Amino acid sequence: MNAAAISVENLSVSYGAIKALRNVSFTAQPGVITAVLGANGAGKTTLLRTISGLLEPDEGSITMAGTNITREKTEDIARRGLGHVPEGRGVIGEFTVEENLRLGAMAAKVDLKAGLAEQYEQFPVLGQRRTQHAATLSGGERQMLAMARALIAKPSVLLLDEPSLGLAPLVTVELMETIRELCDAQGLAVLLVEQNAKSALRIAHHAIVLHLGSVAANAAASDVAADEKLRQYYLGLAE
């Protein structure tokens, strides 16, 4: 049997007395974009941070390609091939574009030169700005840099936390298309956390809706998009 890229079982996480995630279970498959949707405070970011090992779960387990990674160190999980573009992108503004990319390639055993060339081909604007400090980039360019920095390590799983945040609608459309292309071309398992449910559902294959830390829906993206109740109650999408 083929193991799922990421498999989460009965995951519960709390901040002190506050339960942020309750009994969350789902799987993410290679070559599939799984959108993680829900309102503010539904536990989307908490879910990604727990998968990455930045937060410790109270209960439950996380498996990556058949290996249990629950309570492993963040850096070890990253080295197993998990790319995580955090909320706010995490671009290091004091570094140049190329230094950011080099940092991304460092922990992985990949050819730096070929990796850089590949990313500059995928994101030509980064190639043009390779010696600029990342702080000087626009929001969209930073998002591309953050993604390129994760991709250069050839991950098998990519976690994206609110990539569209702060981007203009046109840029968002372009970004989503890029994510879909990457997923299709490289067979990546993508977990896409989005507030902007509409654009996420447009490219996702599968969707999970979180509500107050629990899974409210877990279905094909097209089904979620078609479900009037879900759209109204949890996603704030009215016709």
What residues make contact with other proteins under the rule CB under 8 A?
52, 54, 73-75, 78-79, 84, 86, 90, 92, 94-95, 99, 102-104, 106-108, 149-150, 153
Of 112 and 216, nearer to other proteins (C-beta) is 112
- The nearer residue to other proteins, 8 or 150, going by C-beta atoms, is 150
CB of 103 to other proteins, least distance (A): 5
Residue among 106 and 220 whose Cβ is closer to other proteins: 106
- Cα–Cα distance between 63 and 156 in angstroms, integer? 13
Output the smallest distance, CB 92 to other proteins, in A. 5
Q: Are 48 and 159 in contact (CB under 8 A)?
A: yes
**CA distances, 65 to each of 1, 68, 153, 157 (Å):** 11, 8, 17, 10
Please name which of 90, 193, 181 lies closest in space to residue 143, comparing C-alpha atoms: 90
Residue 38 CB, nearest approach to other proteins (Å): 22
Q: Please identify, using beta-carbon distances, which residue of 135 and 168 lies nearer to other proteins.
A: 135
- Cα–Cα distance, 11 to 172 (Å, whole number): 31
Nearer to other proteins, 94 or 239 (CB): 94
d(CA 88, CA 151): 17
3-state class (DSSP) for residue 41: coil
CA–CA dist 119, 137 (Å, integer): 16
Q: Count CB neighbours of 183 within 10 A.
A: 21
Tokens 């390779």 sit at which residue?
130
> In DSSP terms, which residues pair with 18 in a beta bridge?
15
Min dist. Cβ of residue 134 to other proteins (A): 11
Query: DSSP letter at 107?
Result: T
- The residue (of 101 and 175) whose beta carbon lies closer to other proteins is 101
- DSSP string spanning 115-141? HHHHHHHHSHHHHHTTTSBGGGS-HHH
Nearer to other proteins, 108 or 216 (CB): 108
